[in-house]
Amino acid sequence: MNPTIELIHRRKSIRDYEDRPVPDSVRDEILRAALRSPTAGNMMLYSIIHVSDPAAKATLARTCDNQPFIARAPLVLLFLADYQRWYDYFRLSGAEELSARRGRPMQTPEEGDLLLACCDALIAAQTAVLAAESLGLGSCYIGDILENCEEHRRLFSLPRYAFPVSLLCFGYPTQEQRQRPLTSRFDRDYIVFENRYRSLQPHEFQMMFHQALQEMDASGARNPGLRMYQRKFTAEFSREMRRSVKRMLESWAPD
Ligand SMILES: Cc1cc2nc3c(=O)[nH]c(=O)nc-3n(C[C@H](O)[C@H](O)[C@H](O)COP(=O)(O)O)c2cc1C
């Protein structure tokens, strides 16, 4: 295995950090790498907020489904899908006047633009994860940043077309975390298809969960589908995520 492949294979989420700061030079190296990520149309449709304020981290630890380790992470980066910057620049460049001359309203960013910007933001986030890993730092994504949009908008002064799509915590892993085994993944047969999509047959689901079943306790192993349906898909945090994202999407619908 070459060192890049080896790094990708050994990476795991780290939620417990040594009590030492991440030097600015290391943070800057991570950011420099993230900013080299591929980006749609070379437009960099994202922004990154370095959350250094301990009070803001403490708020995130609460608003992101009560995950206290967020407040303890020495480095926290918020990735925004961001069309606001380009929208402002289009207006500054005379896009409203141009549209008026052509007898139509100026185009505003819509849901499709948001998805493209999310692609940009998430690609940059994953580049940051791998760069951090190569520098000895562990990381953990926080999907719960999609919840409580009203509070997050206020906390970070987010304008209409800035969408907080991913939060990343970084820090030096504790010895215990370093030794923790990797989590398993589903076999590629169920994930990678050739040329066309293939729905899985009932017997394939059984094989797909073979490895996962060994990692679950007895109650989960009895019915992993129902367990995930209850614990994740219909859990309170999922309901809040759906509510919050619906609210955020309202901003991207044309007026
Ligand atoms: C989009 C996304 C959201 C996630 N949200 C959280 C989270 O809110 N809290 C958490 O502890 N881990 C979170 N994770 C980490 C996953 O739980 C983790 O990647 C998964 O269990 C596989 O483990 P591994 O990363 O150690 O291989 C998230 C990961 C992704 C990609």
Measured in angstroms, how far is the CA atom of residue 15 from the centroid of ligand 1? Answer: 10
Amino acid at 50: H
To the question of pTM greater than 0.75 for the whole model, the response is yes
Q: How confident is the model at residue 209 (pLDDT cuts 50, 70, 90)?
A: confident
Residue 63 lies in a domain: yes
In this prediction, residue 220 carries a pLDDT of: 64
Nearest residue by C-alpha to atom 8 in ligand 1:
142
Give the position, in ligand 1's atom list, of the atom nearest the Cα of 145.
8
Residue 24 lies in a domain: yes
Q: What is the mean pLDDT of residues 179-203?
A: 95
- pLDDT above 70 (res 219): no
Residue 191 lies in a domain: no
Ligand 1 pocket check: which of 13, 77, 165, 237 to mutate, most ligand atoms within 8 Å of Cβ? 13
- pLDDT above 70 (res 12): yes
Residue 9 lies in a domain: yes
Q: What is the DSSP string of the chain?
A: --HHHHHHHH--B---B-SSPPPHHHHHHHHHHHTTS--GGG---EEEEE---HHHHHHHHHHTTS-THHHH-SEEEEEEEE-HHHHHHHHHTTHHHHHHHTTSPPP---HHHHHHHHHHHHHHHHHHHHHHHHTT-EEEEEGGGGS-HHHHHHHTT--TTEEEEEEEEEEPBPHHHHHSPPPP---GGGT--SSS--PPPHHHHHHHTHHHHHHS-HHHHH-HHHHHIIIIITSHHHHHHHHHHHHHHHHHS--
In this prediction, residue 218 carries a pLDDT of: 65
Whole-number Cα distances in Å, 108 to 91, 238, 253: 10, 29, 9
pLDDT by residue (tens digit) across 164-176? Answer: 999 999 999 999 9
pLDDT by residue (tens digit) across 97-135? Answer: 999 999 999 999 999 999 999 999 999 999 999 999 999
CATH no. for residue 101?
3.40.109.10
In this prediction, residue 244 carries a pLDDT of: 98
Q: Ligand 1 within 6 A of 67 CB?
A: yes
- pLDDT above 90 (res 217): no
- pLDDT above 70 (res 24): yes
Q: Ligand 1 within 6 A of 129 CB?
A: no
Q: What is the mean pLDDT of residues 4-33?
A: 98
Q: What are the structure tokens assigned to 48, written together?
A: 């990154």
Q: Ligand 1 within 6 A of 143 CB?
A: yes
Residue 223 lies in a domain: no
Phi, psi of 19 (to 5 degrees): -85, 65
Q: Ligand 1 within 6 A of 133 CB?
A: no
Average pLDDT of the residues of the chain: 96
CA dist 149 and 243 (Å) reads: 9
Residue 232 lies in a domain: no
Residue 248 lies in a domain: no
Q: Ligand 1 within 6 A of 14 CB?
A: no
Measured in angstroms, how far is the CA atom of residue 12 from the centroid of ligand 1? Answer: 9
User: Which residue in 133, 159, 161 sits closest to 254, CA to CA?
Assistant: 161
Give the position, in ligand 1's atom list, of the atom nearest the Cα of 69.
11
Q: Ligand 1 within 6 A of 180 CB?
A: no
Measured in angstroms, how far is the CA atom of residue 165 from the centroid of ligand 1? Answer: 14
Q: How confident is the model at residue 224 (pLDDT cuts 50, 70, 90)?
A: confident
Amino acid at 201: Q
pLDDT by residue (tens digit) across 148-160? Answer: 999 999 999 999 9
Ligand 1 pocket check: which of 8, 118, 142, 145 to mutate, most ligand atoms within 8 Å of Cβ? 142
Measured in angstroms, how far is the CA atom of residue 141 from the centroid of ligand 1? Answer: 5
Q: How confident is the model at residue 210 (pLDDT cuts 50, 70, 90)?
A: confident
- pLDDT above 70 (res 211): no
Q: What is the mean pLDDT of residues 14-23?
A: 98
Residue 243 lies in a domain: no
pLDDT by residue (tens digit) across 52-99? Answer: 999 999 999 999 999 999 999 999 999 999 999 999 999 999 999 999
For the chain, the domain total comes to 1
Q: Which domain holds residue 64?
A: 3-181
